[in-house]
Amino acid sequence: MAEPIVPNVDESQSYEAQELAENIKAGEVKAPEIDVTADYEASKAFSGGASAQEAKNATSPKFRVSEQNSSSVNSSNTKGDPQYFRTMAADISNDESSVSEGVSDDLVKKALEKGQPG
């Protein structure tokens, strides 16, 4: 059974909702009808009874998904060995394309002075 929607103009959330409610009230626009019983019956078709394979097929992506590349980092090294982190920091700081190239202590002091309030 379809239930007619009767909008309350005073409780509309947005301009569009208020305008629609006023147009429905004035008879310019037909109010939408909701058939709760039909929606409930249609929802029964989607719930229950699906096998695991059917569920997997319904939720699997419709495109090819690439496999994740394995990382070269040995997870046993990352569990708190300070020497591992020192080596990693040295590798990063010895990188020739380092961003800190050309930054001197004088430049840092000037930047700090300019950043001071007052």
pTM: predicted TM-score of the whole model, two decimal places:
0.28
72-105 per-position pLDDT tens digit: 655 555 667 888 888 888 888 766 555 555 667 8
Write phi, then psi, for 37 (nearest 5 degrees).
Answer: -65, -45
Distance CA 113, CA 118 (A): 10
Q: What is the pLDDT, as a whole number, of residue 28? A: 92
- As a whole number of angstroms, the longest Cα–Cα distance in the chain is 80
| Domain spans, the chain | 2-47
Torsion angle defined by CA atoms of residues 65, 71, 76 and 78, in that order, rounded to the nearest 10 degrees = -110
5-44 per-position pLDDT tens digit: 666 767 757 888 888 888 988 989 888 888 888 888 877 7
Q: What is the pLDDT, as a whole number, of residue 34? A: 82
